[in-house]
């Protein structure tokens, strides 16, 4: 029992020990399990974190891959090769394949050197392409290859050293088409081998836009500089930004630097009211009248312009900023000076034309009455001449008749002056004949003597006896009257001396004379001198221009000296002028003397040639018929006067051989003188005919074709009638054509 109990106790103690051991072991195991579980939890947490990291990396990789794939920029990835040159592409995106026109597989086999658009294998990454020389020689090409290799290696060294590099370059696609690109190179270090990522931006459209902008700027610059309108651009502070050539020319300023010293916005260029509108932001347009001489005297800028300028100025406000202040100003300036001067000249010409039209109206009116007026003067002049011949024993009667005759001649000359001045008369066509100048000079001075102011004195100096020239007495009278009238007008205010001087004038060498247009020879010089105000030197070359006058408005037409010059040229003479301000003026009229002339003033008043025979006189004016008949009787002829042309034809037809000559008026209501001559020529072709004409112009061709032998202007002058009729009858007698007695 005790043994059993002992055994049991032993077993119990052993079991207790085992239990204790087991409990201890269990606790240790639990601790170990708990530790393992903690480790497992940590591992699981690490796995979870790793899974999250992997997922994040996968997402990030996907994001970068999507960005790499979808970007429109070309992305090219490569690493340096063992030789330092760019190696084959490690990766390329779709945009690179599309733009370069390669498949991905094809492009991955290429390097940067294959797509860079250098000249052959050479390229200029980051260098000036003009440094590369392209020749066909193989040796040179080899040198180029070496040069290209060196350039690429230098490029790679720069990229690797800096990590970033941006250059402009040209790429070439599969088809050889070049296009400009902006290349950004970035180095990534992945292990021991660096990776270079090229982000390439195709700047073709940008370059085209820049080109279009450049061309647009060039077009604008060309338009700006070539514009005939002056243009100046200012900033918002009214500082000059640019100005074109036309604007510089308008203001006579040499360059832009000098133009900056000129303020277009200052007075007097912009009036105050315009300035206010401009300050208010309005666009303004106005005309500015500038006296550059005045501006120059008080300005600091240089200008070559002078005188008055008329400028059309338009100033634009180039918009306002956020504060409603102008961004700048655009000024257009157009020079209207020539236009304004033309308009002023046109207005002047219009006034002159109006004056000319008035004169034409006067001429038309004068033409309407000239014929009748000449018919009235004809018997007065004719009978005065007859009285002078018949009253030689009575000095008083001769003087009275002479006064009547001179007065009638002045009336005749007055009509001719009006007609010539209005360019409707026959003065231009009046035949020239040997004319004594001295009597005309005396007559002109006598006419002026009666109307001169008391403070003007006339002096007459005749230093020659040769005074016969080939001229029209009426035209010469008009020339001297006009020059004397101008001389008197020049002395109107302070008085003075009017001198008329006649001298001989010899031209030996025309090239050394004052009148190079006149040939060598003997001339008569008529000098008209006054001691008046004188003529300014710059006006001397213009005084003979039509419509030019220095007289106040309303006192001159500007036609007098123009008519004078025309008459003298027709007489194959010349006119010169000398003048000094404050001293006076001298006009020299130079006319060729008649060669071998023995005619003088006294000789011209000798007995008129007499004649005989029947003379048929046809005129519709009874007074003229009577006077012509009396003249012919005084000259020894037998006049037959008829006032009806048809009646005269009947009488002539009955006795055509009776008449030695015919004198017929041109202006008759039933039949003109030319028509009458044509009819009598049918009856007797050899009959001498003298045609009388007053105002009405007679066509020279019609005169020649009608067979008219001579013209006798109205009013009929007895001397003219006697000389012309005697000459015609003498020629007829020499030809053996004598009428029946």
Measured distance between the N- and C-terminal CA atoms of the chain, rounded to whole angstroms: 233
State pLDDT tens for residues 198-231: 888 888 888 888 889 988 888 888 888 888 888 8
Q: Which of 11, 34, 35 is nearest to 19 (CA)?
A: 11
In the chain, which residues have pLDDT < 70?
Answer: 1-26, 28-30, 32-33, 35-67, 118-148, 267-268, 293-302, 355-356, 359-360, 362-371, 392-393, 395, 410, 413-432, 546-560, 595-606, 694-701, 735-741
**What pTM does this model have?**
0.43
- What sign does the CA torsion over 716, 720, 722, 725 have? negative
CB–CB of 283/263 below 8 Å? no
**DSSP state at residue 319:** -
Q: Which pLDDT belongs to residue 123? A: 45
Helix axes 622-634, 337-390, angle to 10 degrees: 50
Supply the pLDDT for residue 383: 80
Q: Which residues contact 305 (CB under 8 A, 6 or more apart)?
A: 251, 252, 292
Q: Is 432 helix (H, G, I), strand (E, B) or coil?
A: coil
- Predicted confidence at residue 271, as pLDDT, reads 79
Tell me what pLDDT residue 526 has: 94
What distance in Å separates the CA atoms of residue 678 and residue 706, rounded to the nearest whole number? 6
pLDDT for 563: 81
Q: Give the DSSP H or E segment for 481.
A: helix 473-490
Cis check for the bond before 715: say yes or no (omega within 30 of 0): yes
Instruction: Give the strands of the sheet with 638-642, arranged side by side.
Output: 638-642, 614-618, 659-665, 689-693, 710-713
Taking the C-alpha atoms of residue 22 and residue 24, their distance in angstroms, rounded to an integer, is 5
Residue 85 token pair: 């040159």
SS3 468: strand
Q: How many CB atoms lie within 10 A of CB 559?
A: 21
Give the pLDDT of residue 368: 63
pLDDT number for residue 300 = 57
CA distance 262 to 217: 26
Helix and strand element counts for the chain (H, E)? 20, 22
Question: Which whole-number Å values give the CA distances from 21 to 9, 12, 32, 92, 316, in the listed order?
Answer: 18, 14, 16, 71, 111
391 SS3 class: coil
- Alpha-carbon radius of gyration of the chain: 59
pLDDT of residue 9: 56
């Amino acid at each position: 029992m005790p043994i059993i109990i002992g055994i049991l106790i032993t077993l119990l103690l052993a079991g207790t020990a085992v239990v204790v051991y087991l409990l201890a072991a269990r606790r240790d195991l639990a601790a170990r399990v708990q530790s393992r579980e903690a480790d497992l939890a940590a591992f699981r947490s690490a796995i979870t974190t790793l899974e999250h990291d992997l997922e994040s990396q996968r997402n990030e990789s996907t994001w970068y891959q999507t960005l790499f794939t979808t970007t429109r920029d070309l992305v090219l990835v490569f690493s340096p090769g063992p030789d330092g040159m760019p190696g084959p592409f490690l990766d390329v995106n779709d945009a690179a394949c599309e733009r370069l026109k390669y498949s991905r597989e094809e492009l991955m086999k290429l390097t940067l050197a294959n797509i860079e658009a250098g000249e052959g294998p050479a390229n200029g990454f980051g260098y000036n392409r003009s440094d590369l020389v392209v020749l066909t020689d193989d040796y040179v090409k080899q040198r180029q290859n070496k040069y290209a290799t060196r350039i690429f290696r230098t490029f790679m060294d720069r990229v690797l050293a800096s990590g970033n590099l941006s250059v402009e370059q040209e790429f070439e696609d599969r088809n050889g088409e070049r296009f400009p690109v902006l290349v950004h190179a970035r180095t990534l270090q992945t292990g021991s081998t660096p990776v270079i990522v090229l982000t390439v931006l195709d700047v073709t459209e940008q370059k085209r836009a820049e080109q279009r902008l450049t061309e647009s700027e060039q077009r604008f610059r060309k338009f700006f500089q070539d514009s005939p309108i002056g243009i100046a651009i200012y900033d918002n502070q009214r500082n000059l930004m640019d100005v074109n050539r036309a604007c510089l020319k308008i203001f006579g300023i040499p360059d832009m630097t000098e133009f900056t010293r000129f303020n277009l916005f200052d007075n007097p260029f912009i009036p105050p009211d315009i300035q206010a509108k401009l300050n208010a932001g309005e666009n303004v347009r106005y005309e500015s009248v500038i006296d550059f001489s005045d501006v120059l005297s008080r300005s600091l800028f240089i200008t070559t312009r002078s005188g008055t300028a008329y400028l059309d100025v338009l100033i634009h406000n180039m918009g306002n900023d956020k504060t409603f202040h102008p961004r700048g100003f655009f000024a257009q300036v157009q020079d209207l000076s020539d236009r304004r001067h033309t308009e002023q000249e046109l207005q002047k010409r219009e006034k002159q034309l109006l004056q000319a039209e008035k004169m034409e109206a006067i001429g038309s009116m004068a033409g309407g009455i000239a014929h009748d007026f000449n018919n009235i003067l004809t018997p007065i002049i004719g009978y005065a001449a007859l009285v002078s011949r018949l009253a030689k024993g009575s000095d008083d009667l001769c003087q009275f008749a002479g006064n009547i005759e001179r007065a009638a001649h002045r009336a005749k000359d007055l009509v001719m002056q009006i007609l010539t001045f209005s360019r409707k008369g026959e003065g231009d066509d009046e035949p020239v004949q040997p004319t004594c100048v001295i009597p005309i000079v005396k007559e002109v001075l006598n006419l002026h003597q009666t109307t001169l102011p008391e403070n003007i004195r006339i002096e007459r100096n005749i230093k020659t006896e040769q005074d016969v020239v080939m001229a029209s007495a009426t035209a010469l009278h008009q020339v001297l009257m006009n020059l004397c009238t101008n001389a008197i007008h020049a002395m109107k205010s302070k008085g003075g001396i009017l001198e008329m001087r006649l001298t001989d004038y010899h031209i030996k060498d025309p090239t050394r004379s004052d009148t190079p247009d006149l040939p060598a020879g003997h001339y008569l010089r008529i000098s008209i001198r006054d001691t008046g105000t004188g003529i300014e030197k710059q006006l001397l070359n213009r005084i003979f221009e039509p419509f030019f006058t220095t007289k106040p408005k309303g006192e001159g037409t500007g036609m007098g000296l123009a008519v004078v010059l025309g008459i003298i040229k027709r007489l194959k003479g010349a006119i010169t002028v000398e003048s000094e301000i404050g001293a006076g003026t001298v006009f020299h009229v130079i006319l060729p003397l008649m060669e071998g002339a023995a005619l003088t003033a006294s000789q011209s008043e000798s007995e008129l040639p007499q004649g005989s025979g029947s003379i048929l006189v046809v005129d519709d004016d009874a007074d003229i018929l009577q006077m012509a008949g009396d003249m012919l009787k005084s000259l020894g002829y037998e006049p037959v006067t008829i006032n009806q042309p048809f009646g005269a034809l009947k009488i002539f037809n009955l006795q055509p051989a009776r008449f030695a000559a015919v004198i017929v008026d041109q202006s008759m209501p039933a039949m003109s003188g030319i028509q009458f001559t044509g009819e009598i020529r049918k009856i007797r072709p050899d009959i001498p005919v003298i045609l009388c004409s007053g105002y009405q112009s007679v066509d020279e061709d019609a005169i020649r074709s009608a067979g008219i032998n001579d013209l006798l202007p109205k009013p009929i002058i007895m001397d003219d009638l006697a000389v012309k009729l005697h000459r015609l009858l003498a020629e007829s007698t020499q030809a053996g054509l004598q009428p029946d007695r």
